[in-house]
C-alpha cells in the first residue's frame, strides 16, 4: 500500500500509527530521488532530513504553529507532506514545485527563502509578534502558536544567524531551534565552530549526559537556574542536556546531539520540546544523502546535481551516471584562475562555502596556502580579502552574484572606501534557471556602480572571461568585478580573436559600413543578440557590440553612433533599474547625446520564478526572438507594444517606458 499518496496534509500523517512512519520515509526518499534524477535539484540535503521533517510534522501543527527553514533547499519532504505532491513532477520548472519554500504555493511556507542565516532572526520576529498579538504559546496559553526554526550546522555560523541567536536567548516563551548537524553544507563546513561540533559528536555520549544532568545548577541568563529549567523538562531531554554547550552562552538550553534518523527518539524529544517554555536548541545529528549510498558517499556532488541515471550492476551495487552538458562558465573560470595563480604568485583566492559552485575547488588543493573557503560568511570573506589586499596581495573573491548582496557594506567600507583592489568573480549572474527568484543575480551592477573607481565588467564567452580576469589582475584603482551566468560557454565566436580588455572600451562583434541600428550588449546577451541577427537574416544592417564595461561606459562609441543618428538598443540580464542600460543613459546625458535614440532591454521590474533559463529569458523579453522583434519595431517606426508578443517583455525607449504583455 502506498502511504505517501494518501497524505494530502499533515493531518493525514498524524492519523497514521508511529509504526507506519518508516514506510512513509522510505516512499518520500524514493519519490525525491526519482524526481531529482529526472529534473535535477537538491538531493542530498533533502534525503538527510526526511525523518526529521516527518517527526516535526507528526508532533507540531504547522498549519497553526510556525516553521521557518534556513536556506530552504531541504524543504522537499515538507512540501510533499503539505499538499504539494502533484507539483513534484515539475520540480524547479515553470508551474511546478519551487526548490525552496514558497508562500505562493502554500500557507505552510512562511517566507520565500534561499539565503542562509535568516531562519532564526525571522522566527524570533514571528515569536515576538505572536506574543504581542496574544497568540504565542505558553503554559498559561496552551492553545497558542509555537515556533520552530530549522537550521544547518554550516548556516549557524553565518553572521545573521549569530545575531538571531543573540536575541533568541532573551525570549520568555517557547522557542525551538532544531540544529540539523550533518557535518556538511554544500562542501565541508569551515572554521572553529565546525571543529567544535566535530568534537562534540565524538565526545558526548548518552551516559555522560545522564550523569551530568542531575548535577547542573549553574544560572542561565534571565535569572532562572538550569536546575529549575531541568525540572520543567521531560525525562528524555533531561538525559541529554548538554552542559557547557556553546549555545548555553546565548541563554539557550541545549539538548543533544540525538540521532536524526531515529523516529521514535525524535518524536519523544520534539514532544517534550513542544511543552518547554524557554528557548531551546535541539541538536540533531543526520547524514546528508541518507538512504542512497552514492549520495552519502559523495554529498558534495549530489548536493544539487543535474539530472542523472541510476543503473543497478550485478555484484557491483548501483552505478550513477550524470547527464553530460557542455562546458560551463564555472569550469572555465576554475581553469583560468588556476592558470593565473601559476603565473602570478601574488594572487590569492577565496569562496564562501561554494568551492564546487564557483570552480575554486580546482585550485584549493593545488594552492592550499593561497586559497580559502570561509564557510557561509560572505561578509567575513570580503573583509578578509580586503585585509589581504592591504598587505600587498591580489585577492580574487569568487561568489554567486546573489550572495554578493550580503557583503555590500564590506564592499563599501573595507574595500572601496580604502581604495583596495578586491576582485569579484560573480558566478550565477543574471537569470539562474531552476533555483528561481531567490538566486537570480539581478542587482550586482546597481550595487557596485555607486562605488567610486569600481570597474564593472561582464564576460560573453570563455575567451572574454580569460581576458577579463587578466585585466582585473592588473587593475589596482579599486574594486573590479566580472559577471557570468550559470550556463555553458557559447562557441559562437570561437576562433574569433579576443582582444585584451581596455578600460571603458567596448568590443565590436559585427560591423557595417552604413548601419541602420546598433545593439550594445553586456555579457552573454551578446550571444542572444547574435541569434537575433540571424533571425533578421540581413533584413537590416545592424552592428553588434559587446559593451564589456558597465562602468566606465564607452562614451566615444556612443558619441559616434548617436551623433550619426543611429538607434542604439542595450541588452542585459540585469534589472532595468540601475543596470548597464541605465549607465548608458547617464553617459549619454553627461555627453549631451540624444537619449531618445536609446532603447533599453533588461530584466523587468518584477520577480521571475523557477524554470529553464531559456524560458526565463523569453519571459523577460531578452532572448534572441525578442531582440529581433524590437529591432524591427524600431526600424519600422512602429509602436514598441506588439500584440503578438506572449511574454512579459519590458523595454524602455527613453524617456518613456513601454511595456508589452
In the numeric block, which cell numbers belong to residue 373? 573557503
Contact indicator for 653, 641 with CB cutoff of 8 Å = no
Which DSSP helix (H) or strand (E) runs through 608?
none
DSSP β-bridge partners for residue 568 = 518, 598
In the numeric block, which cell numbers belong to residue 443? 542587482
Which DSSP helix (H) or strand (E) runs through 421?
none
The neighbour count for residue 325, using CB atoms within 10 Å, is 10
In the numeric block, which cell numbers belong to residue 300? 558534495
In the numeric block, which cell numbers belong to residue 652? 524602455
Smallest Cα–Cα separation from 487: which of 333, 337, 330, 323? 330
Q: From the candidates 288, 362, 483, 600, which is the catalytic residue?
A: 288
Is 288 among the residues known to form the active site? yes
d(CA 201, CA 183) in angstroms, rounded, equals 10
Contact indicator for 356, 299 with CB cutoff of 8 Å = no
Smallest Cα–Cα separation from 266: which of 148, 158, 170, 146? 148
Is 462 among the residues known to form the active site? no
Q: From the candidates 378, 462, 543, 652, which is the catalytic residue?
A: 378
Query: Residues 429, 434, 436, 439: is their CA dihedral positive or negative?
Result: negative
Is 378 among the residues known to form the active site? yes
Q: Is 49 exposed, middle or buried (0-12, 13-18, 19+ CB in 10 A)?
A: buried
d(CA 654, CA 339) in angstroms, rounded, equals 43
Kindly list the distances between the CA atom of residue 152 and the CA atoms of 246, 402, 558, 646, in Å, as whole numbers in the listed order: 15, 20, 50, 42
In the numeric block, which cell numbers belong to residue 418? 580604502
d(CA 182, CA 305) in angstroms, rounded, equals 18
Contact indicator for 403, 433 with CB cutoff of 8 Å = no
- The secondary structure of the chain in percent helix, strand, coil, rounded to multiples of 5, reads 40, 20, 40
Kindly list the distances between the CA atom of residue 573 and the CA atoms of 366, 483, 559, in Å, as whole numbers in the listed order: 34, 10, 24
Core vs surface per residue 539-567: b (16+ CB within 10 A) or e = ebbbbbbbbbbbbebbeebbeebbeeebb
* Chain mean position to CA 433: 12
Residues making up the chain, counted from first to last:
661
In the numeric block, which cell numbers belong to residue 41? 535539484
Q: Which residues, 6+ apart, have CB-to-CB distance to 65 below 8 Å?
A: 137, 145, 146, 147, 148
Q: From the candidates 370, 394, 406, 629, which is the catalytic residue?
A: 406
Catalytic residues: 288, 378, 406
Amino acid at each position: 500500500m502506498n502511504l505517501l499518496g494518501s497524505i494530502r496534509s499533515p493531518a493525514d500523517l498524524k492519523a497514521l500509527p508511529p509504526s507506519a512512519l518508516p514506510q512513509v520515509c522510505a516512499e518520500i526518499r524514493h519519490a525525491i530521488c526519482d524526481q531529482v534524477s529526472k529534473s535535477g535539484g537538491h538531493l542530498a540535503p533533502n534525503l538527510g532530513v526526511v525523518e526529521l521533517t516527518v517527526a516535526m510534522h507528526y508532533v507540531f501543527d504547522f498549519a497553526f504553529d510556525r516553521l521557518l527553514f534556513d536556506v530552504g533547499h531541504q524543504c522537499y519532504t515538507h512540501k510533499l507532506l503539505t499538499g504539494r505532491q502533484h507539483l513534484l513532477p515539475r520540480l524547479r520548472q515553470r508551474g511546478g514545485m519551487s526548490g525552496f519554500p514558497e508562500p505562493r504555493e502554500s500557507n505552510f511556507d512562511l517566507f520565500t527563502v534561499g539565503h542562509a542565516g535568516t531562519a532564526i532572526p525571522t522566527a524570533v520576529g514571528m515569536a515576538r509578534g505572536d506574543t504581542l498579538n496574544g497568540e504565542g504559546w505558553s503554559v498559561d496559553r496552551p492553545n497558542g502558536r509555537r515556533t520552530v526554526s530549522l537550521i544547518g550546522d554550516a548556516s549557524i555560523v553565518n553572521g545573521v544567524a549569530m545575531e538571531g541567536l543573540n536575541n533568541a536567548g532573551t525570549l520568555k516563551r517557547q522557542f525551538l531551534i532544531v540544529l540539523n548537524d550533518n557535518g556538511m553544507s554544500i562542501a565541508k563546513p569551515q572554521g572553529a565552530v565546525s571543529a567544535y561540533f566535530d568534537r562534540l559528536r565524538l565526545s558526548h555520549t548518552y551516559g555522560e549526559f545522564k550523569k551530568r544532568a542531575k548535577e547542573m545548577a549553574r544560572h542561565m541568563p534571565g535569572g532562572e537556574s538550569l536546575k529549575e529549567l531541568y525540572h520543567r523538562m521531560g525525562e528524555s531531554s533531561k538525559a541529554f542536556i548538554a552542559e557547557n554547550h556553546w549555545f548555553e552562552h546565548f541563554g539557550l538550553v541545549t539538548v543533544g546531539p540525538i540521532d536524526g534518523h531515529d523516529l521514535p527518539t525524535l518524536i519523544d524529544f520534539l514532544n517534550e520540546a513542544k511543552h518547554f517554555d524557554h528557548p531551546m536548541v535541539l541538536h540533531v545529528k543526520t547524514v546528508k544523502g541518507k538512504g542512497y549510498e552514492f549520495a552519502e558517499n559523495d554529498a558534495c556532488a549530489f548536493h544539487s546535481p543535474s539530472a542523472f541515471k541510476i543503473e543497478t550492476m550485478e555484484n557491483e551495487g548501483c552505478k550513477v551516471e550524470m547527464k553530460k552538458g557542455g562546458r560551463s562558465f564555472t569550469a572555465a573560470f576554475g581553469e583560468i584562475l588556476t592558470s593565473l595563480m601559476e603565473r602570478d604568485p601574488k594572487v590569492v583566492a577565496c569562496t564562501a562555502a561554494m568551492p564546487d559552485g564557483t570552480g575554486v575547488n580546482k585550485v584549493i588543493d593545488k594552492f592550499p596556502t593561497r586559497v580559502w573557503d570561509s564557510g557561509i560568511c560572505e561578509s567575513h570573506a570580503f573583509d578578509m580579502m580586503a585585509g589581504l589586499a592591504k598587505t600587498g596581495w591580489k585577492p580574487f573573491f569568487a561568489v554567486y552574484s546573489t550572495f554578493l548582496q550580503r557583503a555590500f557594506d564590506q564592499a563599501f567600507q573595507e574595500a572601496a572606501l580604502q581604495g583596495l583592489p578586491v576582485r569579484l568573480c560573480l558566478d550565477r549572474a543574471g537569470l539562474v534557471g531552476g533555483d528561481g527568484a531567490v538566486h537570480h543575480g539581478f542587482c550586482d551592477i546597481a550595487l557596485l556602480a555607486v562605488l567610486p573607481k569600481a570597474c564593472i565588467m561582464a564576460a560573453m564567452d570563455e575567451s572574454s572571461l580569460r581576458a577579463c580576469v587578466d585585466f582585473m589582475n592588473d587593475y589596482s584603482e579599486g574594486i573590479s568585478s566580472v559577471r557570468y551566468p550559470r550556463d555553458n560557454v557559447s562557441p559562437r565566436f570561437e576562433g574569433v580573436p579576443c582582444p585584451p580588455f581596455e578600460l571603458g572600451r567596448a568590443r565590436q562583434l559585427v560591423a557595417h559600413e552604413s548601419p541602420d541600428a546598433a545593439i550594445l550588449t553586456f555579457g552573454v546577451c551578446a550571444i542572444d543578440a547574435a541569434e537575433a541577427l540571424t533571425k533578421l537574416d540581413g533584413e537590416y544592417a545592424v552592428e553588434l557590440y559587446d559593451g564589456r564595461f558597465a562602468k566606465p561606459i564607452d562614451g566615444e562609441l556612443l558619441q559616434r553612433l548617436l551623433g550619426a543618428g543611429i538607434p542604439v538598443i542595450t541588452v542585459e540580464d540585469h534589472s532595468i533599474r540601475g543596470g548597464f542600460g541605465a549607465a548608458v543613459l547617464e553617459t549619454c546625458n553627461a555627453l549631451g547625446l540624444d537619449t531618445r535614440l536609446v532603447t533599453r532591454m533588461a530584466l523587468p521590474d518584477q520577480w521571475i520564478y523557477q524554470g529553464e533559463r531559456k524560458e526565463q529569458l523569453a519571459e523577460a523579453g531578452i532572448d534572441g526572438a525578442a531582440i529581433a522583434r524590437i529591432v524591427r519595431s524600431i526600424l519600422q517606426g512602429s509602436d514598441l507594444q506588439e500584440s503578438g508578443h506572449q511574454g512579459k517583455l519590458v523595454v524602455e525607449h527613453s524617456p518613456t517606458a513601454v511595456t508589452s504583455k
